[in-house]
Chain A
Amino acid sequence: MENLFEHYILPNDIWDEMYANHEVREHYKQLFQYLSAVPHEELQNKEELARKLFMSQGITFTVYSSNEGIEKIFPFDVIPRIITASEWKIVEAGIKQRLTALNLFLKDIYHKQEALRSGIVPSDLIYSCPHFLREMVGLKVPHDIYVHIAGIDLIRDSDGSFYILEDNLRTPSGVSYMIENREITKRIFPELLTQNQVRSVTDYPTILHKNLVSLSSRQTINPTIVLLTPGIFNSAYFEHTFLACFMGIELVEGRDLIVNNQCVYMKTTTGLKQVDVIYRRVDDEFLDPLVFRQDSMLGVPGLMSAYRKGNVAIVNAVGNGAADDKAVYNYVPDMIRYYLNEEPILKNVPTYQLSKDDEREFVLNNIHKMVVKKTNESGGYGMLMGHAASEEEIDAYKREILKEPRNFIAQPTINLSSAPCYIEGKLQPRRVDLRPYALFGPDGIELVPGGLTRVALREGSLVVNSSQGGGSKDTWVLEKY
C-alpha cells in the first residue's frame, strides 16, 4: 500500500502542527497511526460522505452568476487540526486579556477618552477612523459590554508561538462551521474523537443565548430576541439561520422590523411585537438609513434612536470598528498595559504604520518581504503580498499608499504554521490559522474550547480567506498534553 505520508514534504522555517524534526508530535500520534493504517479508499469515502452531508444539509453559500445560483460548499478538509490543553490555556488566557482591554478601550473612547488624552493611542488615529461613530459618544450600553462576540485571528510563527493577526470585533462569522465541522467529524471519525478526549464545542449557542437574554432592558421573563440578517443572498446566511435555530430566536430582516415611539417592533401575523435585543449581522453603516447610509434597504429607520434611548440592545455594539481598525491594532499591547497593568500574553505581529515617515520608507524599501493591508478592509481583500506580487502590481500599490498613507499598514511576511491536509488522495502540508470565538457577558468572558481553523488549500499560499481559495478544518482542543 502506498504511504499517505510519502508526499508530506516540509519546507524549512515553518512550524508544522504534526511534525517536529521528522518526529510526530505526541498529541498527533493517534491520528498518525490511524492514517498510516487506513485504506486509501476508506479515506476517500469519508471525504465524499463529508461533501454529501454539507450539500444535503444546505451548508452552502450561493454564488450568483447569469441569473442562476450556484451552490458552493465552503471547502472542508477531513483531517482535524489538534491543539493541546497547554496550548489552549495560553490562547484562552491571552484572548480574555486582550478582549478585556479592547472592551475597556471602546468604553473609554466613547466616554472619557483617557487613553487618548494620556497619549496611549494617538487621538487623530481614532478621529480619522471611519468606524469611530459620534452617535455612540456618551451612550451607556448594558453592562458596559461592547464586544459581546469576538473572533480573534491567531497564527503561529516558525518558533511555534501564537500571534494575534486580527481583532474581529464587529460581526465575526464562521462559528457555525466550528460546530458543523465537529458534527461531520462525529460521522466520519467517531473512534478517533473519543480516543483523543476532544473537548466539546456544542455549548456555544447556549452561552450566547444566555448572554443575549441578560441584555434586555424590559423587566420580563421572556424578552424578545431577534437575529437581524441581511437576507438569503448574504454569503453567511446559513450561519444566521443556524444560530437563530439553535437559540430559538426569530430570524428577521430589516423589513420585518419597525420603530415606533423609539421602540422596536416586529411585524407578526397578529400585529406588532416589541423587540428587546437584536443580534445583528448587518454592518454599522447599513443599520439605520436615517443615521448612516441613506440607501440602505437592510436596516431599520429609527433603530439608532431606539438604541440611544436604551429601549433595545444591539449586539455587537455599534461603533466597535474603532477598536479593530488595523491601524489601531498596533496599540493594543499598550492598551493592555495601560488598562490592566499586565504584560500581553499573546504577541502582536510587528506592524508598520505607513502614516509614519520612517516606517513607510522602511516598508517601501523592503516591500518584497512585506504584506501590506488596507486598514478598513477585511476578508483578504485589498491586500498586497510582497513576496508574490509582480513589479507592476507593486508600483500601482505604492502609488495608492502614497495617496493616503493612513489607510495602510504593513507586516513582515509571516510563516503561518502548516498542518496535514488530505488533498488529491495524498496528505500534504498546508498553512493554517486559528479563530477561536469569545463570548462576553455579565458573567465575564467565555471561550468554547475550539474554533475555526482556516486553511490555505493552494500549495504555498498564505491566504486562508474563503473568498481567496481557503477552506476549513475541524479544530480539536484536547483534555490532555
Chain B
Amino acid sequence: MLARIADSMFWMSRYIERTDGIMRMLKVNYTASLDKSSGAVFTWRPILKLFTFLNEDEIKNLEFDRRAVMKYMIVDRINENSLVNIITRSRENARGVQDHITLEVWGCINDFYHLVRQDRMHSLIEKDEVLQVLDELMKQDLLFYGTADITMPREQGWWFMNIGKSIERALQTVDLLNVKFSDLSYDINTPADTPYWKYLLMSASGYELYVKTYQSGLNGENVLQQMVLNNDFPRSILYSVEEVFHYFKNLRSDRNLNNFNKVHFLIGKLKSKIEYSNLESISSQGLNHYLDEIRNDLIGITNAFNTYYFAQQ
C-alpha cells in the first residue's frame, strides 16, 4: 500500500472517531448543564480549554452560554475543531483514498458531510434542539462503523483505519476523564454529583455494563476502573490500546521488520503499562500524571507511525 494512502486511511478514520468522541462529550455535558445542581452554575470552561484554541478572554465570554458553545463546537466554520471542520477533513482524506475504501463507506462519509453542513443544523441549535442534532450526527458515526465493518476487506487499509480509530478513541477517553477529574483536582475519592457519572457512562454506552458490574452505586473510583482498565468495555483505554496492538501485528512483514519492531515496542510498552496498573498504583502516582503519561505515549506512537510508515522515502 502507498505510504500516502496508509496515512490518509489512518486519519480519515481518526477524524470520524474524533467526531464521535466530541459528540459524546458534548452530549454528556449538555445534559448535565440542564440539571439544576446544588453547587455552582455549570461552566463549559473545561471543555473549551481542552477542545478549542480559545484564549482566556474568549472562554470567559462563552463559558456560561450553552447555545453559543454548541454552535461553536458543532457548526462554526472558523473553529478548527468544530465538528463541521473535522468531518470535512475526514472527507478530504477519504477523497484521496476513494479507490481504497468501498463505495458504501465513501457514501457514508459523504452523507455525513452534507448533513452537518445543512443550514437546518444552525436553526435546530438556535431552537435548543441540540440533542436532536447530536443524535442525528452520532447516528452517522454508527452507520460509518457498521458499513465499514461489513464492507471493507481485511487488508492493510482496514488495519490502518482501526489503528487510527483506536488511538483516537483512547485519547478521547483520556480527555473525557480529564474534563471531569480536573474539576475534582484529580482526587479519585472526592464525591461528585452522581448524575454526572451517569451521563458520562451513558454517553460512552457504558451505563448498563456499569450497573451490572458494580452494585454499590455510582462513584468516581468505579467509573475510572471501567473507563480505563476494563478490557471488556469497548471505550476503555485498555481495550483501545489492545486494539491498536492487535491490528498493528498484521503489519509485520519481512520487508520492513526493522521499522515494525520499533513501533511494536512502543505500543507493547504502553499496553503493559496500563495492563499492570490498578487504582492504587494510579492513585499513588496521581491520576493527573497517569493520564498525561498515557496521552504522551499515544502521541509518541502516532509520531512513530509518521516516521516509519507514512513518510517512506
Interface residue stretch chosen among B21-29, B103-111, B182-190, B280-288? B103-111
Cβ of B2 under 8 Å from chain A? yes
Q: Digitize A222-259: 1 where CB-to-B-CB distance is under 8 Å, 0 elsewhere.
A: 00000000011000011001001100001111011010
Task: Decide if A390 is an interface residue (CB 8 Å cutoff).
Answer: no
Please count how many residues in chain A sit with their CB below 8 Å of the partner chain's CB atoms.
28
Asked if A268 is an interface residue, CB under 8 A from chain B, the answer is: yes
Q: Is A271 an interface residue (CB 8 A)?
A: yes
Cβ-defined contact, A266 with B2, below 8 A: yes
| A246-284 with Cβ < 8 A to chain B | 250-253, 255-256, 258, 266-272
Instruction: Decide if B110 touches A244 in the complex (CB within 8 Å).
Output: no
Q: Are A268 and B110 in contact (CB under 8 A)?
A: no
- Closest B-chain residue to A60, C-beta based? B110
B309: chain A residues within 8 A (beta carbon): 269
Is the C-beta of A57 less than 8 angstroms from some C-beta in chain B?
yes
- Select one of A245, A250, A270 contacting B253, CB under 8 A: A270
Q: Residue B313 at the A interface, CB < 8 A?
A: yes
Residue of B nearest to A232 (CB): B95
- The B interface is mostly helix, strand or loop, or mixed, namely helix
B3 lies within 8 A of chain A by Cβ: yes
Q: Among A69, A250, A270, A272, find the residue whose CB has the most chain B CB atoms closer than 10 A.
A: A270
Chain B positions within 8 Å of A57 at CB level: 103, 106-107, 110
Q: Which of B167-213 contact A (CB under 8 A)?
A: none
With a CB–CB cut-off of 8 A, which chain B residues contact A237? 95
Distance (whole angstroms) from the CB of B33 to the closest CB of chain A = 31
A contacts with B: majority SS: mixed
Q: Given the complex, which residues of B lie within 8 Å of A269, measured CB to CB?
A: 1-3, 6, 156, 251, 256, 309-310, 312
Q: Does A68 contact B (CB under 8 A)?
A: yes
Which residues from A are CB-within-8-Å of B255? 270-271
- CB-CB nearest 3 A-B residue pairs: A241-B98, A244-B99, A267-B312
Asked if A58 is at the interface of the complex by the 8 Å CB criterion, the answer is yes
Cα A237 to Cα B98 with chains together (Å): 10
Identify 19 residue pairs between A and B in the complex whose beta-carbon atoms are under 8 Å apart, listed by A's number.
A56-B107, A56-B110, A56-B111, A57-B103, A57-B107, A58-B107, A231-B96, A232-B92, A237-B95, A241-B99, A251-B98, A252-B2, A268-B3, A268-B312, A269-B6, A269-B256, A269-B310, A271-B256, A271-B312
Whether B111 and A250, one on each chain, are in contact in the complex, defined by CB atoms closer than 8 angstroms, is no
Interface assignment of A137: CB less than 8 Å from any CB of chain B: no
| A221, B304: Cα distance in complex, Å | 35
Is B3 within 8 A of A267, CB to CB?
Answer: yes
Q: Is B4's CB within 8 Å of the partner chain A?
A: yes
Inside 8 A of A402's CB, which chain B residues have their CB?
none
In the bound complex, what is the Cα–Cα distance between A325 and B212 (angstroms)? Answer: 76
Contact in complex: A58, B4 (CB < 8 Å): no
